[in-house]
Amino acid sequence: MSGKYLIVGLGNPGREYEKTRHNVGFMVIDALSARAGAGGEKKGRKASVQDATLAGKSVLLAKPLTYMNLSGEAVRALLDFYKIPLERFIVVHDDLDLPPGTLRLRRDGSAGGQNGIRSIIQQVGTQNFARVRFGIGRPPGRQPARDYVLQPFSGDEAILAQEVIATAAAALETWLTAGMEAAMTRYNGDATARAPEPDPAAELAVAQRAHELAPNDPAPLEQLIRLHKKARRLEEAAALHHKLAALYERRGETARLLKELENLAGLQPDNAPLQERLARLHEQQGNPRAAISRWLKLADVHQAAGNRPAARRAVEEACRINPQHPTALARLATLHDEQP
């Protein structure tokens, strides 16, 4: 059984749906991703997925790519593949029956007319899973609900939605750290009139003290990274990613080492030695696709710095792994053409 948590935001894929009321679940996932400084999205199990560390917990952030009415297919595939129990799963969705500006966390319940939730219940065979209901209110006049949910937020409503998105993200972090009861007590109701956030300085001091008491425990380091990223202290966060990566390396936990180095590369994309180390580690772990991607990113770094010979060597490494890789071959031809 996996120790991961799964947070799924419901919505529809495609740019035409990005800002619509029906896609608030996707928007909350984006907010959580930004809080965590998560890496790039990967597609699989009928969803777009990101690995993240939130509140010291290992979390999968997922957006189903099945369209709303078939969301359960993606959820079932993710739960099965990652072996995540239902008590570590929560879903975020829009709710016509709650007024705008309102959040309602629930341990379980019926679909309540929400087709994405109905699909999940059908696929997992139970309604006993947690959810965050994001109020969007009923359409005005006689406007059909289907048209209303597929319209974007506008004006004051758009400003309010951004507030509620941030509150929903905070509620989910509370769910991760303190459980559903605490999250419901604090966040159910008017999302703009919630209790004050914890004092960031106090949170940082507690996490720092926890790290000092248990320097070989990754959880306090993960919490410190999250707090520094939240405060946009990215240099401090990067230094802690280095520290956590070194801890995992000492423990021989290569998968976690790779994850930390990937997170660090997100903060330091122009770090050439880091890009090369990731490329070699991915190749050692039997992941040629990721290795090639890192060699090509390293080539970008060298090319941007005006070091064409180093860029060419990086592309040649990508071609060594896959001599038929079309992007690498095209880059290599371009670099050879540009030789003085």
**Which of 274, 323, 282 minimizes the C-alpha distance to 298?**
274
φ, ψ dihedrals at 167, nearest 5°: -65, -40
**Which of 112, 71, 69 minimizes the C-alpha distance to 89?**
71
**Model pTM greater than 0.95?**
no
At 119-159, the pLDDT tens digits run 999 999 999 999 999 998 888 888 888 899 899 888 888 88
Q: Give span(s): CATH 3.40.50.1470, the chain.
A: 5-190
CA angle, residues 8, 64, 54, in degrees to nearest 5: 30
CA dist., res. 302 & res. 311, Å (int): 5
CATH number for the region 5-190 comes to 3.40.50.1470
Q: What is the pLDDT of residue 120?
A: 94
Q: What is the pLDDT of residue 205?
A: 86
CA dist., res. 141 & res. 147, Å (int): 12
At 10-69, the pLDDT tens digits run 999 988 898 899 999 999 999 898 888 776 778 878 889 998 888 888 899 999 999 889
Tokens standing for residue 198: 């914890």
Q: Give span(s): CATH 1.25.40.10, the chain.
A: 269-340
Q: How far is CA 311 from CA 123, 298, 336, in A?
A: 49, 7, 11
Answer for the pair 73, 246: CB distance below 8 angstroms, yes or no. no
Answer for the pair 264, 274: CB distance below 8 angstroms, yes or no. yes
Give 93's strand partners.
133
Classify residue 212 as exposed, middle or buried by CB count within 10 Å of its CB (0-12, 13-18, 19+).
exposed
- Active site residue ranges: 22
In the chain, % helix, strand, coil (3-state, to 5) comes to: 60, 15, 30
Q: What is the pLDDT of residue 104?
A: 92
What counts of helices (H) and strands (E) characterise the chain? 14, 8
Classify residue 323 as exposed, middle or buried by CB count within 10 Å of its CB (0-12, 13-18, 19+).
exposed
Within the chain, which residues score under 50 in pLDDT? none
Q: Where are the beta strands (DSSP E) in the chain?
A: 5-9, 42-44, 47-54, 57-64, 89-95, 102-106, 130-135, 189-190
Q: What is the pLDDT of residue 57?
A: 85
Q: What is the pLDDT of residue 145?
A: 86
**Identity of residue 298:** L
Instruction: Assign a CATH topology to domain 269-340.
Output: 1.25.40
